[in-house]
Amino acid sequence: MLLEKCCITILILLLIFLYLYSKKENFEDDQTTQSNLPISTQLRNEIGTLLNISPSRISNLDYAGNLIMNTLKVHFDIHDNNLDETLNNENSKMEAKKIADNLMLTDKFIVSINNRTIILRKMLPKTETTNIEKSRFFDNKGLKELSKYANNKYISVPNDESLTKFYTLGIDKDYNLEPKL
């Protein structure tokens, strides 16, 4: 009798231990799969979820900031939705942009990256300052004059009508194809 009670108690404790161990392992797997993804992929997924669009429609994703400070500045473009996405009731490009702008203005664009809550803010688009700086170093007046001369010559070439005539296929009286000029 005592042996049976000990065996049942040990069996129950073993089952409880296995249950708790499996719960712990499943919880750790969820955390590691989320944190193993690159930040850009996590951002695309989270932005897509908030805007009710598929992550593949988000392009040119740029982000800057510090995850420790819980804020990131982002800039991204949204592609138009295709037929499948329209049938799945995803938001259109304009609707998604309106939602994103509204969320960013009110600081409610909140996503979860690496199990941290991050507020997304709008990043100003990159300016053409790099082109201005390059033009300072590569300011070759001779090449600019040569380019201007070539453009003028290209525009002023006469258009010869005989060069633009092409053969077409016509049908003769016996219904055969013959080339015609």
| Shared domain check, 108 and 71 | yes
Q: Which of 129, 41, 150, 92 has its CA nearest to residue 33?
A: 41
Q: Is the pTM of this model over 0.85?
A: no
| Shared domain check, 90 and 56 | yes
Return the amino acid letter for 24. Answer: K
For residue 21, give both structure tokens: 């161990």
Report yes or no on 18 lying in a domain.
yes
Report yes or no on 168 lying in a domain.
no
122, 139, 170 - which closes a domain: 122
Q: What is the mean pLDDT of the chain?
A: 79
| Shared domain check, 85 and 27 | no
User: pLDDT tens-digit profile of 119-138?
Assistant: 988 887 665 444 555 555 55
For residue 91, give both structure tokens: 């938001």
